[in-house]
Amino acid sequence: MAKKLLAEFIGTFALVFLAVGAAVSGIGAARDATATADFIVPASGTLGIAIAFGFVLMCLAYAIGGISGCHVNPAVTIAMLVAKKISPALGGLYMVAQVLGAIVGAAALKLMVTSFGVKDTTGGLGTNGYGKNITMGGAFFLEVILTALFVFVILMVTDKWAVQSMAGVAIGVSLVAVHIIGIPLDGTSVNPARSLGPALFNGGDSLSQVWLFIVAPLVGGVVAAGLWMVTRDTNPDDDNEAISAIPDDDEVPA
């Protein structure tokens, strides 16, 4: 149990510090420390940040997937709860570990931009928001759809009949896809922990709007579980053999 929770904490910390950190340090133009003071290097932009999120999650899936299932996202955990792939007690503890990991990851990013001379090119510690490029209703709809599709992929590629060796790749690529669409509109959440951590340290509108990026992805997770239930292989001989994104308690040492 402790190892699973630690894996979720470390995984969510890594996702926030590395992937959100990629946005903080590189979504806008930045100075090249090895060149002259006036030299400006091109920004990595939307595609670069999307790839960062996907690559980090793909690596985490292979690194800690065998320990905790690599949820690192309350929306994934709630989908597993609805799909009855994880117990309510363990699911609740997972969410606590994920939120704590995200908060510590965001704290590390805040330290970087306030004490170590790193320029925050997002202007908001990589937080999510609506109102500028999309309405509140549009952002809610977008986050539900993007999260549902993303989590649906996770549920499907970790099922019994999927190619298990490629699950991490499929999950990472799907996260890249949803970020390419969402970054220009609301910054892309699809993960309540990822949104809450940076918002706590940025404050202002980010904190007042973070409710949407908590609620909408959770709704999306529930929708994904429903889609999985009506889409998956329903062969009764396979029902008890289907695997989940999280190993059973007796498969992984606590």
Domains, the chain, with CATH or none: 2-239 (1.20.1080.10)
**Separation of alpha carbons 43 and 29, rounded Å:** 4
Buried b (16+ CB within 10 A) or exposed e, 91-127: bebbbebbbbbbbbbbbebbebbeeeeeebbbebbbb
39 CB-near residues (< 8 Å, 6+ apart): 31, 32
pLDDT at site 69? 93
Task: Indicate the DSSP class of residue 43.
Answer: P
Query: Are the C-beta atoms of residues 180 and 111 closer than 8 Å to each other?
Result: no
One-letter amino acid of 36: T
Query: Are the C-beta atoms of residues 94 and 5 closer than 8 Å to each other?
Result: yes
Q: Does residue 24 surpass a pLDDT of 90?
A: yes
Query: Are the C-beta atoms of residues 141 and 224 closer than 8 Å to each other?
Result: no
Residues 53-103: tens digit of each pLDDT: 999 999 999 999 999 999 999 999 999 999 999 999 999 999 999 999 999
**Separation of alpha carbons 37 and 202, rounded Å:** 28
Query: Are the C-beta atoms of residues 150 and 31 closer than 8 Å to each other?
Result: no
Residues 31-60: tens digit of each pLDDT: 444 444 454 555 678 899 999 999 999 999
